[in-house]
Every structure is written in C-alpha cells, then in structure tokens.
Amino acid sequence: MIDWRRFLPRFAASLWLVLTVASVAGCGGDGPSTFNAASVVPLVPDALLPSASHLVDDVECDLPEPSRLGPLACTAVVAGLEIPVLVHSPGLDGRIRIESPAKVVLATNVANHVNDRLRSETGVEARTACVPEARVARKGQAFDCTAIDPADRQIPIRVTLVDAAGAFRVDWRSGDGP
C-alpha cells in the first residue's frame, strides 16, 4: 500500500522541477523560443571590456536563424580592429554568455608591466603611461609609453606585441634612460 502522505510531497517537488525546467527551456510553447539579438548588442561592450567598454567602437551581429542552434556570430571593433564575438543564447539559468577568442591588451596593464621591468632591471621606480588605451593582441600592434623616473626625467618606451596572447617586447627609445 502506498503512503500518499510521503509520496505526494516528493511528486509535487518533482513536478515543479520538471515544469520549471520546461518553461525556462521554452518547451511546450507555440514554436521555438526567440532570441532577440538586437537587445543583446548593447551588452557586448561591457561583457568584452568591463573596465573600458568605451573602447568598443561598434558591434554588429548576424541575423539569428531559428533553425540554427549555435551561438550568434558578431563582430566588434576595438582599437580600430575587428574581432569576432560569440553570443550564446540564454542557458537554463537565463544568463547570456558573451565571449571572444581575441585578447585585448589595455595600456594600464602594459604600463604596470613596464614599471615592474624597470624596477627589476634597473632598480628605478617609475610612473609609466601608455597610449593608445588598448590594442587587440596581434603581432606588431604597439604602445608608445613614457616612463617618468624619480628625477622627473622622461624615458620614451615602445612596447610591441609579439603574438596573439599579448606577449610583448619593450624597446627603450632613448639612450638617456636608466
């Protein structure tokens, strides 16, 4: 004999879970759940560069195909170069994942590395600033930096990216530096 008092709460919890998952996944609707690409485009800059979204100049996405299951292909312009961006439709948790295989190198990070290198190689504590604000990590992309030593001397430095991972080479552009 089934003890309904014990069975019913488990059944109700299981039924609730199945209905919740089905409604989130879009099952049982009149057709496939729609993914509004136009509403996602404004989110791309903040997802790509949370601390410097103003560096993303433009974002364009392909029109989604209802029969296609994969991510939405987009292109963003960062520091004058186009980079691929993938926008994944909402998962079971309702979150949209936005990612790019391209790496963006920020000038503030380069300046910090230059300061560390100056300190380790010469013992000089410097303040460094680099322009432009960002570069897409591609071989040959460069930053022009200026380090200022404790005596307020300016040390011009050229930082050139050597690969897509963001590794770089530092060239001292003046014989006056440390």
Strands (DSSP E) contained in the chain are: 56-61, 72-78, 81-88, 97-99, 104-106, 127-131, 134-136, 142-148, 154-161, 168-172
Extract the runs of DSSP E, i.e. beta strands, from 62-151. 72-78, 81-88, 97-99, 104-106, 127-131, 134-136, 142-148
pLDDT of residue 39: 82
Segment 148-176, tens digit of pLDDT? 999 999 999 999 999 999 999 999 875 44
Dihedral sign of CA atoms 36, 37, 39, 45 in order: positive
| Cα–Cα distance measured from residue 153 to residue 31, given in angstroms and rounded to the nearest whole number | 68
What pLDDT, in 10s, does the model give residues 111-159? 999 999 999 998 989 999 999 999 999 999 999 999 999 999 999 999 9
pLDDT level of residue 15 (50, 70, 90 thresholds):
very low
Rounded Cα distance, 74 and 82, in Å:
10
Q: Is the pLDDT assigned to residue 31 strictly greater than 70?
A: no
- Per the omega criterion (within 30 degrees of 0), is the bond before 45 cis? no
Q: For residue 5, how many other CB atoms are within 10 A of its CB?
A: 7
